[in-house]
């Protein structure tokens, strides 16, 4: 290293190092050297600190587990249980596949050695929907009190959507479809089936939800057996336009509510209170904007999967209605409306490629799965409205 020619050593007291810092260039190089030494010292101590950190964590775990072989075994079992629960949770969260109503109806008719008369397809489909609810991977999850069922969120909402449609149809079967007129007696097995499906959906035991729903399934099977037995005339299925129209009226309100809730994922103004309070004000005055209503972000996936469950059940129910009510639908020219409903419900059951439910703004960059589902259900609801109008005509 070259030194400046004008540099000359200066005298300072003995043992002093001030002469080193006397010149500016020496000060700069000394500062750099000290900084390098300091950094190297920190780096040399880092691995040791990391090792000490994990050593302390290991000691904390051993103290928590009590140490020894038993403590380690208990800890290992807990870890394995959590890992197995995580894998099972992923498997149990998969939605059941759709099935062919016509093929299932023929299969059950052949097994029972009966003719698939009017009402056979609808009843068989109700039984299959209820059995799927209980026998799918993981079974019925809504009332689970242990992991992984306790951790799952989407599948219980899917189950509730299916259950709502099953309850509505079982009530329509008991109240309208199985009776010829308002003074007719209710079917003895549907009297049992309908309240069983209205049992508490989250009861774990004494009695369990599964046990009560299976009693309803058994009652439906007895009704199916009597309906398809030519030697028994006490079970009836009246595929009339008024019976179908009554059920469709209830369904129209269900889908309207679901579509509204799905649309509120991005926030919508509620104008009901505003319109009601408008009164006889000046028609040229500015109207109030109304209050924005938006679904909480923690509930967006709940509403979405409830709609998925409802559309899954309705898809099979409408396929069965297309079979059992074919004559009245053709007479009323409503067959096209039924098929349009089925097309929209099939679209609502499209494959989910996203691991989470996206909630982008209405015209934003990200997709909004809730609005997509709402669009399908709204179009299905519009076709149901047209169908009701056709059925009500003479």
Domain-located, residue 382: yes
> Does residue 117 share a domain with residue 11?
no
Residue 371 burial (C-beta neighbours within 10 Å; 0-12, 13-18, 19+):
middle
Domain-located, residue 63: no
> Does residue 183 share a domain with residue 117?
yes
> Does residue 242 share a domain with residue 338?
yes
> Does residue 168 share a domain with residue 37?
no
Domain-located, residue 222: yes
**Residue 270: helix, strand or coil by DSSP?**
strand
Domain-located, residue 280: no
Looking at residue 171, what is its pLDDT? Answer: 95
Q: pLDDT: is 28 or 230 the higher one?
A: 230
For residue 246, what are its two tokens?
A: 């009554």
Domain-located, residue 88: no
> Does residue 9 share a domain with residue 125?
no
**Residue 384: helix, strand or coil by DSSP?**
helix
Nearest C-alpha neighbor of 349 from the set 335, 365, 369, 323: 369
Residue 52: which pLDDT band, with cuts at 50, 70 and 90?
Answer: confident
Write out the H or E segment, with its range, that includes residue 269: strand 268-270
Looking at residue 193, what is its pLDDT? Answer: 95
Question: Residue range 143-153: average pLDDT?
Answer: 82
What percent of the chain clears pLDDT 70, i.e. is strictly above it?
Answer: 76
For residue 158, what are its two tokens?
A: 């899917």
Looking at residue 394, what is its pLDDT? Answer: 61
Nearest C-alpha neighbor of 219 from the set 234, 197, 238, 199: 197
Range of 369's domain?
Answer: 93-269+293-392
> Does residue 97 share a domain with residue 9?
no
Q: What is the pLDDT of residues 176-214, one digit of tens each?
A: 999 988 778 899 999 999 999 999 998 988 899 999 999
Total domains present in the chain: 2
Q: In this predicted structure, which of 3-17, 129-143, 234-248, 360-374 has the lowest mean pLDDT?
A: 3-17
> Does residue 124 share a domain with residue 29?
no
CA 67 – CA 59 distance, rounded (Å): 9
Q: What is the pLDDT of residues 14-32, one digit of tens each?
A: 434 443 344 444 455 555 5
CA 272 – CA 293 distance, rounded (Å): 12
Question: Could you tell me the CA-to-CA distances from 157 to 141, 152, 202, 299, 313 in Å, in that order?
Answer: 10, 10, 12, 10, 13
Domain-located, residue 297: yes
Domain-located, residue 287: no
> Does residue 355 share a domain with residue 233?
yes
> Does residue 299 share a domain with residue 197?
yes
> Does residue 248 share a domain with residue 157?
yes
Looking at residue 3, what is its pLDDT? Answer: 46
């Amino acid at each position: 290293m070259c030194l400046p020619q004008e540099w000359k050593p200066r005298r300072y007291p003995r043992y002093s190092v001030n002469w080193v810092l006397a010149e500016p260039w020496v000060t700069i190089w000394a500062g750099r050297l000290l900084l390098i030494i300091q950094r190297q010292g920190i780096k040399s101590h880092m691995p040791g600190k990391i090792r000490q950190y994990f050593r302390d964590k290991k000691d904390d775990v051993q103290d928590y587990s009590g140490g020894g072989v038993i403590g380690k075994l208990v800890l290992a079992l807990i870890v394995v249980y959590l890992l197995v629960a995580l894998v099972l949770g992923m498997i149990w969260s998969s939605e059941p596949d759709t099935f062919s109503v016509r093929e299932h109806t023929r299969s059950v008719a052949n097994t029972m050695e009966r003719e698939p008369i009017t009402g056979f397809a609808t009843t068989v489909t109700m039984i299959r929907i209820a059995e799927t609810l209980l026998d799918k991977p993981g079974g019925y999850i809504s009332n689970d009190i242990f992991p992984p069922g306790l951790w799952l969120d989407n599948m219980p909402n899917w189950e509730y959507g299916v259950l709502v449609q099953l309850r509505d149809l079982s009530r329509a079967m008991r109240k309208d479809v199985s009776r010829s007129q308002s003074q007719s007696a209710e079917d003895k097995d549907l009297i049992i089936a309908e309240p069983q499906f209205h049992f508490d959906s989250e009861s774990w035991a004494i009695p369990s939800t599964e046990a009560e729903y299976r009693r309803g399934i058994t009652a439906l099977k007895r009704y199916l057996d009597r309906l398809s037995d030519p030697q028994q005339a006490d079970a009836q299925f009246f595929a009339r336009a008024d019976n179908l129209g009554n059920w469709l009226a209830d369904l129209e309100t269900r889908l309207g509510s679901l579509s509204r809730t799905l649309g509120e994922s991005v926030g919508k103004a509620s104008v009901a209170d505003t319109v009601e309070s408008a009164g006889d004000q000046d028609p040229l005055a500015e109207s109030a904007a109304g209050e924005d209503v938006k679904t909480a972000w923690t509930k967006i996936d709940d509403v979405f999967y409830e709609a998925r469950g409802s559309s899954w059940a309705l898809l099979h129910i409408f396929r069965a209605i297309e079979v059992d009510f074919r004559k009245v639908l053709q007479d009323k020219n409503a067959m096209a409306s039924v098929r349009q409903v089925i097309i929209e419900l099939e679209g609502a059951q499209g494959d989910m490629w996203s691991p989470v439910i996206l909630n982008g703004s209405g015209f934003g960059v990200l997709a909004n799965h809730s609005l997509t589902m709402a669009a399908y259900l709204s179009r299905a609801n519009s076709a149901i409205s047209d169908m009701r109008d056709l059925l009500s005509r003479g």
